[in-house]
Amino acid sequence: MLEDKTILAEVRTDVKWIVLSMKEIKKNYVTQNELNLRLKPMEKTFSLIKNTTLVALVIAVLGLIIKESFNP
């Protein structure tokens, strides 16, 4: 009988933690729309970084080609 009460108390504690965790998740839940709105201003920055990296890579390749063409 005592063992049953102990198991029941453990289950109640687990359920209580699960409910508290679910409330915390719900409180901190970010919808996809909110996430898109937060990321929208960063889109231009990401695009700029991507384009800058691409330009730097093209310049580096052209530099290597020019260097090799002048050094036989």
Give per-residue burial for 8-41: e unless 16+ CB within 10 Å, then b: eeeeeeeeeeeeeeeeeeeeeeeeeeeeeeeeee
The per-residue pLDDT for range 19-71, each reduced to its tens digit, is: 777 777 777 777 777 777 777 777 778 888 888 888 999 999 999 888 888 87
Rounded CA separation 60/52 (Å): 12
Q: What pLDDT does residue 34 have? A: 76
The two three-digit tokens of residue 31, written as one number: 């919808």
